[in-house]
Structure 1
């Protein structure tokens, strides 16, 4: 009986190490690179390979910008859906889901001026 307990504990430890290894493989990207979250972000994802679980960091002045995850419709129309979460810290970290992840700034005129980004995560 005792050997079964040790085997179960060993299997749990191996599983935990595998999960940690998977987590550590997630990449972290700063949206806009050194410029941060600003205007003309539409092209920023080009040439980058994102995966589900990667994290993106939005760095910006919270007195003048925000970040709102939206749907494709919200991205295309620059409209915030009712009940959408609004990030306002100026240093927001968001984990990407599989598929296209859309984000906009909802300060008047900012999204229309290109303060939006669509990131495809495999």
Structure 2
């Protein structure tokens, strides 16, 4: 019975590690929400937005709108060609693509009074491909010292102190799975 409990606990741990997501839910304007009194340029400062992150706009239903617009419509504060629009009071937008996304309030004069948000979304990291070793060129009469293959480097993303990157969590999950497999095989 103890083996089955340990196995169930191990599988639960594995599932929780695999389903963990690094996406962040940002509340636009923090406690002030989506309002005319917020400096959204300052609010975005220091934040890194990634694909999969969510923006949550909180505001009084009908008092404002959240319109995703093009760059030119953002500059001119025009919501007439909005890519999407909502006025429900809580608008959640998942950032699905990299690049700059533009949001404005379509209520007259709100955008021109600063109720506009521009977020730049980082491209998803792609696995790196190790470079192939190079062969040093030699001139006649020279000897080539014996060398080991060149080390390959993999770029790493910097994460805030106290947090872990998705790669670190994935590595821990693999290590944990290996240990769990060893435990299960050792018990049976």
Normalised by the size of structure 2, how large is the TM-score? Answer: 0.52
Q: Map 1:19-34; keep pairs closer than 5 Å.
A: 20-21=19-20, 24-34=21-31
Gaps of 5+ in 2: 1-13, 123-188
Q: Map 1:43-54; keep pairs closer than 5 Å.
A: 43-54=42-53
| Residues in 2 aligned to 1:108 and 1:43: alpha-carbon distance in whole angstroms | 23
Give the RMSD, CA atoms, in angstroms.
1.8
Answer 1 or 2: higher relative contact order, Cα 8 Å, separation at least 6. 1
Normalised by the size of structure 1, how large is the TM-score? Answer: 0.78
Residue of structure 1 in register with 2:76 after alignment: 77
Higher strand share: 1
Note if contact 1:50-1:120 (Cα within 8 Å) is conserved in structure 2.
yes
Note if contact 2:70-2:82 (Cα within 8 Å) is conserved in structure 1.
no
Count how many residue pairs are aligned between Structure 1 and Structure 2: 104
Aligned-pair distance for 1:43?
2.5
Note if contact 1:42-1:114 (Cα within 8 Å) is conserved in structure 2.
no
SS, match of residue 74 in structure 2: helix
| Residues in 2 aligned to 1:100 and 1:83: alpha-carbon distance in whole angstroms | 15
